[in-house]
Amino acid sequence: MIKLDPTIMNRVTKPARYTGNELNSVKKDHNRVKVTVALALPDVYEVGMSNLGLKILYEILNDRSDTAAERVYAPWVDMEAEMRKRQIPLYSLETFTPVKDFDLVGFSLQYEMIYSNVLNMLDLAEIPLLAAERTEVHPFVVGGGPCAYNPEPVADFFDFFVIGEGEEVIEDVVAVLAEWKEKGRPEGRNGFLKRLAAVQGVYVPSFYDVSYHNDGTVATVTPNCIEAKPVITKRVVKDLNTVKFATKPVVPYLDIVHDRIMLELFRGCTRGCRFCQAGVLYRPVRERTPEKLLNIAQQLVENTGYNEISLTSLSSADYSHLREIVTGLIERFSDKGVSVSLPSLRIDSFSIELAQQVQQVRKSGLTFAPEAGTQRMRDVINKGVTEQDLEQAVGAAFRQGWSSVKLYFMIGLPTETDEDVLGIADLAYKVLHLYKEIKGRRGAKVTVSVSSFVPKAHTAFQWFGQNHTAEIERKQQLLKSRLKDRGISFNYHDSRTSFLEGVFSRGDRKLGQVLLAAWRAGARFDGWSEYFKYDVWLEAFEKCAIDPYFYANRERSEEEILPWQHIASGVDKEFLVQEYQQAIQECFTPDCRRDTCSACGVCPGLSVEVLDWGNQAYE
């Protein structure tokens, strides 16, 4: 057990990040359990504590009598300096146990810009960075989350990955580990990994050899042992009503990013936005029943004391019983001062009555995501909304007293022209003018937030070459030059971080050496602008003789073997190719929940069905 000198806490910002003992945290005697798991998110405490997936796994694992699960996050730079100075290894927040003493260390990989923090945390934990260098005394390092669908850039640093939803597979992993330990650890670390390879959704990268063509593209990905499957198919929970949800999450002592109850209405989205990776990875849609949700919410309010419930799903407004659940939550909790919020609203399903209902306890601005500035571009990405939808939604809000609107867009999408970029400005001005038309005066506040498109694995745009940073910056300045009204605020992302994200999102195993070189040169907290060191990354690519533009900016053919092709999301490649062609032709693919099946392959391929309680009876 690590004992911290109190003087350390006086020398760092937000010491509550490192002291543990929060409400609902679970402490177990490691000598009385069979398996210990350190659940890690490689970012600062406020971000890590906001991750719903880790909250769920924490509760599932600690509900087992044979398992202890504890939390660990990336220490901020001031705490890291103190830890290195005093030779304090990375420790868990529950029992202050060194992370190196756990059986499993599980990293949630939410996006590519946290990869350098993974290496930094392993180093602070005194665990060898390379999986090949770990011995019997070291824990197994596992990765999960969205980035695990292309794990190749970080394959060298992980013993295995979990592909897909974790509620059920995590229990399979723990069961295999407990049995292996009880039998005396037969065949050592490799013995455990061979047993684990039989579990659906588990990928052991060391069991696969990758060869390359002379042009640098992948030639083959071949299993090198009989236990390894040629294709690793994701795990999917068939009915969310039957699995554990986090009803007693740890409550922090300080403000975190999502400092509220997160109530997941359903998982999946079939709207079919062609840029959206989550819309593919979490197919098909599976809803929780209203009764289940009200029961979960009741427990969460009682166990946390939070005064806000956020209805979190990929497209919360698509929940089939949304009015019923919102009304039920407000009736049950409004007298306690508990509000209900929707993170963002679809323009085509916006209801002013619903907006008024969810903001009757505390009122804030409204957020919409048109994603693109012209109808042509919205057709390319299959957004399925029109300018008229936006005008109707915003107009209704203005008439009922709202004056603040946030609009989210992307630039750098396939086939985009300057006209499409400037269409973003045109929409912003139309919203301003609409307010004046309705109210007879100025006064609206429009926030335009623009991100840079990053092509992601398993999407219809995975073959598309990302715009170069210079082109993205030109488009940003073009848009900035048009947005001159004081009623409009304009925010945009750093093109360099988006470029690096694009490199790793479509990368292969050769990038592992670049990541290692960049970390050794000081890369960490790359998602934080004040610590992002672009020059360090460029030098690392040069040192390793790796061309980053080959990964991010190169258009790929449909015949090319992609680095992640042996990882199956359940969506057929043929469907994605067809969707890419549909995008180029500006053709719409309807939502299969509301229209005909688009034959993406998920339901028959994974033996799972859409659960939409608007179309089915439930108990």
Where exactly are the structural domains of the chain? 6-233, 260-363+589-619, 365-510+546-570
Domain range 6-233, its CATH number among 3.40.50.280, 3.40.50.300, 3.40.50.2000, 3.90.1150.200: 3.40.50.280
Within 10 angstroms of residue 254's Cβ, the number of other Cβ atoms is 13
pLDDT tens string 447-457: 999 999 999 99
**Predicted confidence (pLDDT) per residue in 96-140, tens digit:** 999 999 999 999 999 999 999 999 999 999 999 999 999 999 999
Low-confidence stretches of the chain (pLDDT beneath 70): 344-345, 349-350, 359-364, 615-619
Distance CA 80, CA 256 (A): 20
Distance CA 441, CA 559 (A): 57
Of 248, 238, 301, nearest to 60 (Cα)? Answer: 248
Strand ranges (DSSP E) for 1-138?
35-41, 67-73, 104-108
What stretch of H or E contains 256? Answer: none
User: What integer pLDDT is reported at residue 359 of this predicted model?
Assistant: 63
What is the spatial distance between Cα 384 and Cα 123, in angstroms, rounded to a whole number? 46
Q: Do domains 6-233 and 260-363+589-619 have the same CATH topology?
A: no
Residue 598 confidence (pLDDT): 87
CB-based contacts of 529, cutoff 8 Å, min separation 6: 494, 497
Which pLDDT tens digit goes with each residue over 153-198?
A: 999 999 999 999 999 999 999 999 999 999 999 999 999 999 999 9
Q: Whole-angstrom Cα distance, residue 530 to residue 532?
A: 6
**CATH code for the part of the protein at 260-363+589-619:** 3.30.750.210
Please give the CATH number for the structural domain made up of 365-510+546-570.
3.30.750.200
Maximal C-alpha separation, the chain: 79
Backbone phi and psi for residue 400, each to the nearest 5 degrees, phi listed first? -100, 15
**pLDDT score recorded for residue 344:** 65
H helix runs in 334-460, sequence order: 352-358, 375-380, 387-399, 418-439
What was the pLDDT predicted at 364? 63
Q: How far apart are CA 152 and CA 134, in angstroms?
A: 19
Question: How is residue 227 written in tokens?
Answer: 């236990």
Distance CA 281, CA 270 (A): 11
